[in-house]
Amino acid sequence: MQLSQELIQKVIAEVLAEVMNGAPAPSSAPEAEVSGIVCTEKGKAARGTDPREVVVAVTPAFGTTFTKTIVDVPHAEVLRQIFAGIEEEGLRVRVIRVYHTADVAFMAHQAAKLSGSGIGIGVLSRGTSIIHQKDLNPLSNLELFPQSPLLDPLTFRAIGKNAAKYAKGEQPTPVPTKNDPMARPRYQGLAALLHNKEARFIDRNKAPMEISVTFEG
Amino acid sequence: MPLIAGIDIGNATTEVALARVEGRDVSFLSSALAPTSGIKGTLQNVAGLRRALGLALERAGFARDDFRKVDRIRLNKAAPVIGDVAMETVTETIITESTMIGHNPSTPGGIGVGVGVTTTFERLKEVRSGDAVVPVIPASVDYEHAAAGVADAMNRGVNVAAIICQADDGVLIANRLPRPVPIVDEVSSVDRVPLGMRCCVEVAPPGRVVELLANPYDIATIFDLSPEETRQIVPVARALVGNRSAVVIRTPLGEVKERRIPAGELYILGPSGKRIVNVEEGAEAIMDMVKACQPVENIFGQPGTNVGGMMERVRKTMSNLTDIALSDIYIRDLLAVDTLVPQKVVGGVAGEFSLESGVALAVMVKTEELPMQKLAKAVEADLGVTVEIGGVEADMAIRGALTTPGTKCPVAILDLGAGSSDASFMRQDGTVELIHLAGAGNMVNTIIMSELGIDDFDLAESIKRYPLCKVESVFHIRQEDGTVRFFDKPLDPEVFGRVALIHENDMLQPIRLNVTLEQVRNIRRKAKQEVFVTNAVRALEQVAPAHNVRLIDYVVLVGGSAVDFEVPTMITERLSRWGVVAGKGNIRGKEGPRNAVATGLVLSATGA
């Protein structure tokens, strides 16, 4: 992604505008569907019993306010690849939207606790992801992908695949992750702004909702 | 009372026993062990010796570097023995013109058998209805797109018999087709699959293996082969045995062959002259020849071959370390063990691996005992303590081992170390028979490394030393004997779902390999059996009265490898067939199988 001056200014302007106006952040997901996915809320997410499922948790802004990750991978592609990775291993996927936190570890842990297999994946709008297991401490994890600028579609496929393998009790090789020492200085400011915006949609009193995802186009 | 330190420098560890000796009274103060620095019997050992002695002094209540408190140091008179271990792969599978793909993608798609002509995905649109084809789909085609294209062709009446694809998309494509076909995926070099050729794809149901393509007559039926051609296809069928999915493509010139790599010949010099054995013939033939040449005087490898290189390397290492002329270094023993080595199939298109056979060799070099004098002088200069060289190592080992409660002369000692396995037998009258044999703990590591396809020596060492478990949840593990253990605290997520090693204090070390617990266990146990049990029998046969193991009453196991959790029981079990009492020693009633030689060195200082 070209880190253009305009983009940063645009985001700053947006954030500032919201702060100035004191407009309360919308507590439910905005309904704009521009990312190529349609998410329909199906009610409160229940605890699953199917040992063949992996639960994916996304934030309220995922696929709505934001439509792509920090490096412009469309959210539709992120989910499609994660789903494909899980399906290839013969498992099913269930998606929930977590409102009470935008901490990716707690989101994924929530997903894992609701998952019939005990395995959950958390994904933030900017791409940061994590694979979690229900019995672990929330701030522990099975695999963490902290550098969102380095996550490409193939990594998301591998994340889905590994989560499914953990659910099957297999021993996957951890997804090879890239490490770019320049990612932090280059993207940290933007990531902070994106997270600030993401966290605006938090509603501490709202329970996780199950959503159905359909892909467009 | 003078303070005497018995110090035993072994291949892997340096052991110290510290005692006050007055006449015939010996009171042991402490013992210690430290890793040996450098190769046994060389000047590099001084650092390890200082460390071990320092530890022993500390445990006896002295300052760690107060070496002058010691009145006399007694060193073992070990002939420097070095073992070298090498792997020789003797077979290799080569595929020419890619006639088969036999690999195990973890998730192939569909189930069944399909026969058709290979074609590219782009050309699928042009195929006439009714033709049987097998599209070959590169990773650049997305699975949705691929499935749509194939479904289209199917709806037009094209008989899509099976699919070969490059990405891990087998199940995804299968789930999107109007009717199921077998799909083999993760074929990495998909561009090398010959096009326009008749091809058969088989995917077995989960938990089963291919039956049709592993049977030469079924392959002959599918491809209309003549009896001669069927004979040629046998290696293909053999290579596909045990796979869950397979592809065979008939090309005019292609073939699969198993090549035997010329590993070289071994020349064994014994009392009956020179005998020749080819490494290719396997461990059994080599060991028979070694046995026929007892006592072995020297062993050479055929110049210009791998074996020749290995033998020369050992001689050169030894010569450099000891300043002894190359021609005065003799290889006195050799242990060969058959192994399987996972090797990439030459010419394969999916990164196929095939288990090739190989031979692991351990050799032992013995030189004159000169370097020990040098080492003794170096230690004397370094520590400022009188150093004397005690009796022969095996002699000392017996003296030490006899401090085990419940033993008496005549007794045989098996000293299982890292580099060599030594045996000695003491008769009633005090005379001793002894032998040093190649192959011990380090060879077990080499076999584990080659069979698991790893190059991490420390991991192999841990696999050898610790029992296995499978981490079944965050709170419980299943151990290798099938019992379950629960933990109160969540285990490290790093070990979740994995096969792990149980270290001391329940620390779990994950094995990051795609292997089952049973595989690792079998490899570990087989390696120990073939090295330690074989060597125990071989060694005892040579020192026993009239070479008859039955005439030995007591065998005491000592040395680092006798600390192992299963080696002593394996040997005890094997020797119990001959009615021999065998077990791990317990030096001075408290040291376990360690410290035998060091203890013996101190005891021999009493002049008893």
Set of chain A residues whose Cβ sits within 8 Å of the Cβ of B468:
none
Token pair, residue A19, equals 């702060």
Where are chain A's structural domains?
A: 5-215
Strands B100-101 and B484-486: what pairing?
A: unpaired
Which of B143, B473, B499 minimises the CB distance to A84? Answer: B143
The model's pTM is: 0.80
| Residue of chain A whose alpha carbon sits nearest to that of B474 | A135
B207 touches chain A (CB under 8 A): no
- Distance CA(B7)–CA(B129), nearest Å, equals 85
- When pLDDT is cut at 50, 70 and 90, the band that residue A18 belongs to is low
Cβ proximity of B432 and B422 under 8 Å: no
- What is residue B477's predicted lDDT score, i.e. its pLDDT? 93
Mean pLDDT by 10 residues, chain B (608 residues): 87 88 86 86 85 91 86 78 65 66 80 92 90 92 92 92 92 92 89 87 89 90 87 79 85 67 82 86 87 85 80 80 77 86 75 78 72 82 86 79 86 86 84 84 88 89 94 91 91 90 91 89 94 91 87 88 90 90 88 88 77
- What is residue B355's predicted lDDT score, i.e. its pLDDT? 76
- What is residue B529's predicted lDDT score, i.e. its pLDDT? 93
Of the candidates A83, A45, A54, the residue with the CA atom closest to the CA atom of residue A213: A83
Query: Within 10 A of B392 (CB to CB), how many other CB atoms are there?
Result: 17
Contact B172 A140 (CB under 8 A): no
Among B474, B501, B511, pick the best mutation site for testing chain A contact (most A Cβ within 10 A): B474
Contact B493 A87 (CB under 8 A): no
Cβ proximity of B345 and B301 under 8 Å: no
| Residue of chain B whose alpha carbon sits nearest to that of A77 | B142
Identify how many contiguous H helices and E strands chain B contains and give both numbers: 15, 31
Does residue A163 carry a pLDDT above 90?
Answer: yes
Set of chain B residues whose Cβ sits within 8 Å of the Cβ of A133:
474, 493, 496
- Distance CA(B432)–CA(B367), nearest Å, equals 20
| Residue of chain B whose alpha carbon sits nearest to that of A87 | B172
Set of chain B residues whose Cβ sits within 8 Å of the Cβ of A137:
490
Contact B107 A89 (CB under 8 A): yes
Contact A169 B497 (CB under 8 A): yes
The percent helix, strand, coil of chain B (3-state, each to 5) is 35, 30, 35
- When pLDDT is cut at 50, 70 and 90, the band that residue A118 belongs to is very high
State the smallest CA–CA distance between residue A89 and chain B in angstroms.
6
B170 touches chain A (CB under 8 A): yes
A130 touches chain B (CB under 8 A): no
Give the count of Cβ contacts less than 8 A between chain A and B.
50
- How many residues in total does chain A contain? 217
Q: What 3-state class would DSSP assign to B329?
A: coil
State the smallest CA–CA distance between residue A23 and chain B in angstroms.
42
Of the candidates B134, B144, B202, the residue with the CA atom closest to the CA atom of residue B169: B144
Of the candidates B127, B104, B131, the residue with the CA atom closest to the CA atom of residue B202: B104
State the smallest CA–CA distance between residue A105 and chain B in angstroms.
14
Q: What 3-state class would DSSP assign to B91?
A: strand
Rounded to 10 degrees, the C-alpha dihedral B270/B276/B281/B286 comes to 10
- Distance CA(B412)–CA(B409), nearest Å, equals 9
Instruction: Please identify among residues 67-106 of chain A the ones whose CB lies closer than 8 Å to any CB of chain B.
Output: 84, 87-90
Contact B514 A171 (CB under 8 A): yes
B519 touches chain A (CB under 8 A): no
- What is residue A134's predicted lDDT score, i.e. its pLDDT? 93
Phi/psi of residue A72, each to 5°? 70, 25
Set of chain B residues whose Cβ sits within 8 Å of the Cβ of A165:
497
CA angle B61–B63–B67, rounded 5-degree value: 110
- What is residue A107's predicted lDDT score, i.e. its pLDDT? 95
- Distance CA(B13)–CA(B45), nearest Å, equals 10
- What is residue B560's predicted lDDT score, i.e. its pLDDT? 85
Cβ proximity of B72 and B5 under 8 Å: yes
- Distance CA(A169)–CA(A34), nearest Å, equals 37
Cβ proximity of B376 and B75 under 8 Å: yes
Mean pLDDT score, A159-175: 92
One-letter-per-residue 3-state SS of chain A: CCCCHHHHHHHHHHHHHHHHHCCCCCCCCCCCCCCCEEEEEEEECCCCCCCCEEEEEECCCECCCECECCCCCEHHHHHHHHHHHHHHCCCEEEEEECCCCCCHHHHHHHHHHHCCCCEEEEECCCCCEEEEECCCCCCCCCEEECCHHHCCHHHHHHHHHHHHHHHCCCCCCCCCCCCCCCHHHHHHHHHHHHHHHHHCCCCCCCCCEEEEEEECC
Contact B496 A88 (CB under 8 A): no
Token pair, residue A207, equals 């329970």
- When pLDDT is cut at 50, 70 and 90, the band that residue A23 belongs to is very low
* ipTM over 0.95 threshold: no
Set of chain A residues whose Cβ sits within 8 Å of the Cβ of B140:
none
- Distance CA(B60)–CA(B198), nearest Å, equals 80
- Distance CA(A207)–CA(B97), nearest Å, equals 60
Find residue B333's DSSP bridge partners.
B364
Cβ proximity of B52 and B383 under 8 Å: no
Query: Within 10 A of B555 (CB to CB), how many other CB atoms are there?
Result: 26
State the smallest CA–CA distance between residue B105 and chain A in angstroms.
11
Secondary structure element (H or E) that encloses residue B72, with its range: strand B72-77
Contact A169 B474 (CB under 8 A): no
- Distance CA(B252)–CA(B245), nearest Å, equals 23
- Asked if the A5-215 domain carries CATH number 1.10.274.50, the reply is no
Contact A84 B474 (CB under 8 A): no
Taken in order of first residue, the domains within chain B and their CATH numbers are 1-79+369-401+597-608 (3.30.420.40), 84-90+261-365 (3.90.470.30), 98-255 (3.50.30.70)
CA B569 to chain centre: 19
Set of chain B residues whose Cβ sits within 8 Å of the Cβ of A169:
472, 497
Find residue A37's DSSP bridge partners.
A215
